[in-house]
Amino acid sequence: MQRPTGGRAAGVPLWRWVSGFLRERWRVLLRLGVWSVLEAGQTFVVGYALARALDAGFLAGNARTGLLWLGAAGAAVCAGAYGTGRVYGVVAALVEPARDRLVRTVVARGVREADAGALSGLTQQVEIARDTLAGVVMVTRSFLFTAAGALIGLFSLDPLLLVVVLPPLLAGVALFAVTLRPLARRQEAFLAADEALAQELGGVLEALRDITASGAEERVAGSVGRRTDAELRTARALARWSAARVAALAVGGELPAVLLLVAAPWLLGHGVTPGALVGALAYVTQSLLPALHNLVHGLGTSGSRLTVVLRRLTRSDSRHREQRPPRGDGEPRRRPHTARTRPTTAPPSPPPALSLTSVTFTYGPGGEPVLDGLGLTLPQGEHLAVVGPSGIGKSTLTGLVAGLLTPQRGTVLVHGRPAPAPGATVLIPQEAYVHTGTLAENLALFRDAPVPEPELLAAADAVGLTPLLTALGGPGATVSPAELSAGERQLIALTRAYLCAAPLALLDEATCHLDPEAEARAERAFAARPGGTLIVVAHRISSARRAGLILVMDGARTTCGTHAELLRSSALYRDLAGAWTPRPAPLPR
Amino acid sequence: MNSRPDSAGSVSGRALSLASAHGSAARCAALCAVSTAATAAGLLLPALLGHTLDLLLNRAPAARWVAGCAGLVLLLALLDGCAGVLTGLCDAQATAGLRRRLTGHVLALGPRAGARFGAGDLVARLVGNAAQAGTAPGALAALLAALAGPVGGVVALGLLDPWLAAVFLAGAPVLALLLRAFARDTSACVAEYQRVQGRIAGALAEAVGGFRTIRAAGAEDRETDRILGPLPELSRAGHRMWRVQGRAAAQAVTVAPLLNLGVLAVAGLLLARHRLSVGDVLAASRYAVLATGIGALVGQLAALGRARAAAGRLAEVLAEPAPGHGTGGLPPGNGLLQLRAVTARRGGRTVLDGVDLTVPGGTTLAVVGRSGAGKSLLAQLAGRLADPDAGEVLLDGVPLRGLAHAELRRAVAYAFERPALPGTTIEDTIAFGLTAATPDAVRAAARRAHADDFVRRLPDGYATRTAEAPRSGGESQRLGLARAFAHGGRLLILDDALSSLDTVTEHRITETLLTADTDRTRLLIAHRAATAARADRVAWLDSGRVRAVATHQELWREAEYRAVFGDAEGATSDLGAATGSGTEARD
């Protein structure tokens, strides 16, 4: 299977995306040309045969010849239709790879950036791109070959006819080309306004209860009204510009017919036969006019839609990158306060499993630091629990250790190497990731090869997955995340992490949906991994009690110590520990 | 449940007039006139062209006729241009008018609209259906043209010679049959295509949910490859779709030219017998083309049908009666809340059954009960997010129905379990209300809701865009609380609004929230015993009735009361963690 080429497409200018794509497929374009020649041939024959049927047949009193010529035209129609059918197949060879490429781009971005918008991109925008690209290719091709067939036909009937037909046709096409850009701009403005309105309405209709409760109906009606008016303005501008299409069509499609009539005495005087004149009128009104009509209407709308959608699908992702802030320049902001660290052992010992030095992290330029000068050293084999109120930055800490986030200041070393160290850390977040597939596939996600069954079964036993594994029907059973409970998904994620070779395991509330006994079993399994270091963002106090060392996060007052030490030194820890009672008694008032 | 059969008929009857009423009537009439005129001119042109050609071929003076042709072509272009512009303008006007009216009505309905139709469905109606219904004027005008063109074409053929019309009418059924085959053929491979697409989308959705796991393991490329596994299958299904479409298109593009050639053959034979002129042959050929436009009629009818159906769906929304507001004001007071014999039904079930409840001003009442006991509905009735089916709710002695809208919303503030957070920035979101709260009030409220800390850590602090601020369930709840605090009136209703907070934060908030405040009444739906214990009194709701109103201590003696908290209490042993659906994803 091909590697995703989508990454290359992100951020390149649109025209280069399209032209590059077409250049790679010149063979397909050639095939498209070959089959289209049949259609052009049909256009040519139908007009030419009509002229001959009149001149050599019906007008000459030779009805049989006339019918034969019309029969030839009928054969040409069938051949042309066959060509049309084959053209669809060739268009598929152009459109389907483009769709494949867009799907790869969208999926790669969705996976890389957790972009939920990628989903609508995949199902809607990619399809719009596919349909409009096909439309653009079809109408452009159809116009080019129909025009070629008709012009060759006119030339064959009498070169003088071209003198009359060609100038207005070219003028009409030029007029259309000139108006294409302003028309496309208005089409894009309309699509943007329409989308903005849809988004606003989506937000409002999700929040009706809260809007009513806040009494903000008028304000909301005002802002929706402004979007509605903006959309109306763009729709009106677009409607007015549609007159430009009609003008191009009148000049390029209708005017040649009128000119043929005006020039008829002159043409007839210069040897043009009556049949040729009728044939020319047929070319103009029945081939060129419809082809130009399709071009003007198809390209005007589809082209703009395609432009808008492709631009969105292949955009560069500045917004998402901002969430991974660049490394700060290291200017000290305020006095770092270092958490108490456990002294490491004698010099020749291996590097600590984790070493944080003056780590400061802020989510954005306008925000306050979540971590401010945090220092922490964990020797290999240590078991650390992290506790603190929600939103205090525990997940930020695990994100920094896993290398998902980069601190503005300070260093994060995992086994002596700077984070991210995917081979050395494994992160199990609260929302366990299980994908549709077999259980064995899910468990081997972090491995390069399938896990040998004995090892897999041993891991399942250690973490506590065995009952689920048996119930599902063994490692080969297909799992569907929607059919598993949150706790079952967590067990699978935990076993997968257990099977991974990374020595530093980060359990970020990874057991919150398990009952206390299952949680204890899973945590003990991780703590018992030889040489394995464990950091648990604790969900229950019992989980903190199992850890050798506890980090209490409380904004400015981050402290680290054992359970007993913290009960003495940290008010927050006493609060947290106190909030957990086996059965809360009613508080006396 | 989205369409009531009894009203459906009358609804769609009014639907089109509803749509066209919103494009100005004059403009729509002009559109119809213009497109009818354009059709007439289009029908006249072939005859004129034919006659002119005959004159020219006979070397007769034809300057006036040629000028007539040129004039008619110009007129036709002008009419087409006008029709195009007018269609666009009428459609846009009608769509915007419908959306404005619908938005106003849905906002007046408030949560009732959401309960009746569902938010997603309403979005589809206001965005998609309004646009479809808005095309009604244009579709109607186009339908007239689409009907007049082919009919006129066949009649004109008949006038030239009955044989021409006969040939066309004999061949036309073949056209209809082949066009129908087109619709039948594609549906199977479209379904296959969508199935594979759904598989890729499903796998992507799973991976987006598990992005922290994937990224921390550096497994992005491998997961991308795995998700894209079915892509070749999608490609195959796509190719198949084009092939089927190609076959159908080949059939479709054969029929009209062959019909045309058939008409021409007959015309040629008639020409050879001098029953027709060369100009007549040209005219016959063009009339045959106009007549084959009958295929477009199917599309036009379908478009009009869609517009009509869409207008019907909009009319359903407008048919929902919006609650009215009185004009009354509130006397000075501190939020005495009285429910008198309140009965409320939902979906045929009596959820609240004759509830009598009085909450003295300035006190706190916790409402507890098993799930389904009617707690949330009670909270909705207390601040008039819903009206009771029987009975009355009074605030400081005034029935809520009699209060003016502004007076009611100034007096009552709500916080919810899963708040929706409209507004642009965090600042705007907390200030969101009848009148925007001041920056100082916003910050004070955020501090009371323990939201200030995490807001200040956001990328742009209070100026961070709400939609882009990463939030856990608990953080959303705190923003919702802050919004309620920033607008606090004499009645504050907390509908399970602390459920996703960790126990420490909840404890801290309830401490400030429930300390004696004689200015306002607080009604809170509670799931945790610790919360109920801190309220002045507890109303114990059981199967839609108030079983008892007393202090938590008094009620705690009853085993059944303790059982209300039974299983839920296990969850409160969570430590510094969001319970339930609260997720903590901040990177």
> Three-state secondary structure along B178-204?
HHHHHHHHHHHHHHHHHHHHHHHHHHH
Whether the Cβ atoms of residue A170 and residue A147 lie closer than 8 Å to each other:
no
Fold of A8-316: ABC transporter transmembrane region fold (1.20.1560)
Q: Which of residues 456-475 of A touch B (CB under 8 A)?
A: none
Q: Sort out which chain A residues have CB atoms less than 8 A from B582's CB and list them.
A: 390
Q: Residue B543: left if φ>0, alpha if ψ -120 to 50, beta else—which one?
A: left
CA angle B283, B289, B292 (to 5 degrees): 140
* Tokens describing residue A25: 């497929």
Residue A3 in this model has a pLDDT that exceeds 60: no
Q: Which of residues 143-182 of A touch B (CB under 8 A)?
A: none
Q: Which of residues 94-113 of A touch B (CB under 8 A)?
A: 95-97, 99-100, 103-104, 106-108, 110-113
Q: Give residue for tokens 């309309």.
A: A190
Indicate the CATH number of A354-579 among 3.40.50.300, 3.30.360.10, 3.40.50.10800, 1.10.3720.10. Answer: 3.40.50.300
- Res A185: pLDDT: 85
User: Which residue does chain B place closest to A433, by CA atoms?
Assistant: B210
User: Which residue does chain A place closest to B195, by CA atoms?
Assistant: A123
Output Rg (C-alpha) for chain B, integer angstroms.
35
- Pick from A205, A364, A538: CB nearest B126: A205
Establish how many alpha carbons lie within 13 A of residue B491's alpha carbon, considering only the half-sphere containing its beta carbon. 33
Do the strands B349-359 and B337-346 form a parallel or antiparallel pair, or are they unpaired? antiparallel
Q: A357-388 burial string, b = 16+ CB within 10 Å, else e? A: bbbbbbbbeebbbbbbbbbbbbbbebbbbbbb
pLDDT tens readout for residues B70-122: 999 999 999 989 998 998 888 899 999 999 999 999 999 998 888 888 877 88
- Pick from B226, B254, B419: CB nearest A78: B254
Alpha helices in B425-522 (DSSP H): 426-431, 439-448, 452-457, 473-486, 503-514
- Pick from B201, B281, B285: CB nearest A122: B201
The CA-to-CA distance between both ends of chain B, in Å, stands at 41
CB contact under 8 A, A54 and B232: no
Report the distance separating Cα B531 and Cα A233, nearest Å: 53
Q: Which of residues 544-563 of B touch A (CB under 8 A)?
A: 551-553, 556
Q: Give the Å distances, CA to CA, from A176 to A169, A248, A277, A280.
A: 11, 5, 27, 23
Domain regions of chain B by residue span? 7-149+297-321, 162-275, 337-571
Alpha carbon A223 to its chain's center: 29
Whether the Cβ atoms of residue A541 and residue B577 lie closer than 8 Å to each other:
no
pLDDT tens readout for residues B14-33: 555 555 555 467 888 888 88
Whether the Cβ atoms of residue A521 and residue A463 lie closer than 8 Å to each other:
yes
- B566 CB within 8 Å of a chain A CB: no
Name the β-bridge partners of B349: B346
Establish how many alpha carbons lie within 13 A of residue B522's alpha carbon, considering only the half-sphere containing its beta carbon. 30
Residue A366 in this model has a pLDDT that exceeds 90: no
- Pick from A229, A405, A580: CB nearest B587: A405
Report the distance separating Cα B570 and Cα B550, nearest Å: 24
Q: Which of residues 336-365 of B touch A (CB under 8 A)?
A: none
Residue A479 in this model has a pLDDT that exceeds 60: yes
Report the distance separating Cα A144 and Cα A152, nearest Å: 12
Report the distance separating Cα B51 and Cα B180, nearest Å: 38
CB contact under 8 A, A544 and B575: yes
CA angle B571, B573, B575 (to 5 degrees): 110
Identify the band that residue A320 occupies on the pLDDT scale cut at 50, 70 and 90: very low
- Specify the higher pLDDT residue, A300 or B195: B195
CB contact under 8 A, A236 and B88: yes
Q: Which of residues 386-425 of B touch A (CB under 8 A)?
A: 405-406, 408-410, 412-414, 416, 419-422
Q: Which of residues 51-80 of B touch A (CB under 8 A)?
A: 52-53, 56-57, 59, 62, 66, 69-70, 73-74, 76-77, 80
* Tokens describing residue A506: 């980060």
Spell out the SS3 assignment of B39-97: HHHHHHHHHHHHHHHHHHHCCCCCHHHHHHHHHHHHHHHHHHHHHHHHHHHHHHHHHHH
Whether the Cβ atoms of residue A209 and residue B422 lie closer than 8 Å to each other:
no
Contacts with B115 (C-beta within 8 Å, 6 or more apart), sequence order: none
Identify the band that residue A373 occupies on the pLDDT scale cut at 50, 70 and 90: confident
Residue A98 in this model has a pLDDT that exceeds 80: yes
DSSP E strands in B496-561: the ranges are 521-525, 537-542, 545-550
CB contact under 8 A, B69 and A261: yes
CA of A329, closest CA in chain B: separation in Å? 17
CA of B280, closest CA in chain A: separation in Å? 11
CB contact under 8 A, B553 and A122: no
CB contact under 8 A, B460 and A84: no
Residue A340 in this model has a pLDDT that exceeds 50: no
- A335 CB within 8 Å of a chain B CB: no
- ipTM here: 0.84
Domain with CATH 3.40.50.300 in chain A: 354-579
Contacts with B138 (C-beta within 8 Å, 6 or more apart), sequence order: B31, B87, B88, B90, B91
Residue A66 in this model has a pLDDT that exceeds 60: yes
Question: Any idea which of A309-318, A402-411, B374-383, B550-559 has the lowest mean pLDDT?
Answer: A309-318
pLDDT tens readout for residues A147-164: 999 999 999 999 999 999
Q: What parts of chain B have a pLDDT lower than 70?
A: 1-24, 175-176, 178-187, 295, 470, 516, 566-587
Report the distance separating Cα A486 and Cα A471, nearest Å: 16
DSSP E strands in A429-555: the ranges are 437-438, 478-479, 504-508, 533-537, 549-552
Whether the Cβ atoms of residue A315 and residue A10 lie closer than 8 Å to each other:
yes
* Tokens describing residue A374: 């945090």
- B483 CB within 8 Å of a chain A CB: yes
Residue A260 in this model has a pLDDT that exceeds 90: yes
Whether the Cβ atoms of residue B330 and residue B407 lie closer than 8 Å to each other:
yes
Do the strands A425-428 and A383-387 form a parallel or antiparallel pair, or are they unpaired? unpaired
* Tokens describing residue A504: 């530093």
Q: What is the mean pLDDT of residues A368-390?
A: 88
Percent of chain A with pLDDT over 90: 36
Q: Which of residues 483-512 of A touch B (CB under 8 A)?
A: 493, 500, 506, 508-509, 512
Whether the Cβ atoms of residue B416 and residue B495 lie closer than 8 Å to each other:
yes
Identify the band that residue A422 occupies on the pLDDT scale cut at 50, 70 and 90: confident
Report the distance separating Cα A247 and Cα A242, nearest Å: 9
- Output the DSSP codes for B337-394: EEEEEEEEEETTEEEEEEEEEEE-TT-EEEEE--TTSSHHHHHHHHTTSS--SEEEEE
Fold of B337-571: Rossmann fold (3.40.50)
Phi, psi of A459 (to 5 degrees): -65, -45
Q: What is the mean pLDDT of residues A105-131?
A: 79
Whether the Cβ atoms of residue B223 and residue B207 lie closer than 8 Å to each other:
yes
Amino acid identity for residue A43 in this structure = T
Report the distance separating Cα B46 and Cα B61, nearest Å: 19
- Output the DSSP codes for B303-349: HHHHHHHHHHHHHHHHHSPPPP---B-PPS-S--EEEEEEEEEETTE
Report the distance separating Cα B370 and Cα A586, nearest Å: 18
- Pick from B56, B91, B202: CB nearest A436: B202
Helix (H, G, I), strand (E, B) or coil at A547: coil
Output Rg (C-alpha) for chain A, integer angstroms.
36
Whether the Cβ atoms of residue B465 and residue A323 lie closer than 8 Å to each other:
no
- Burial of B527 by CB count in 10 Å (0-12 exposed, 13-18 middle, 19+ buried)? buried
- A118 CB within 8 Å of a chain B CB: yes
- A28 CB within 8 Å of a chain B CB: no
pTM of the model: 0.79
CB contact under 8 A, A404 and B587: yes
What count of other Cβ atoms lies within 10 Å of the Cβ of residue B428? 18
Report the distance separating Cα A168 and Cα B73, nearest Å: 14
CA of A341, closest CA in chain B: separation in Å? 23
- Res B372: pLDDT: 75
Percent of chain A with pLDDT over 70: 88
- Specify the higher pLDDT residue, B296 or A360: A360
- Pick from A366, A541, A584: CB nearest B460: A366
- Give the DSSP H or E segment for A435: none
Report the distance separating Cα A42 and Cα B257, nearest Å: 10
- Nearest Cα neighbor of A37 from A141, A133, A112 is A141
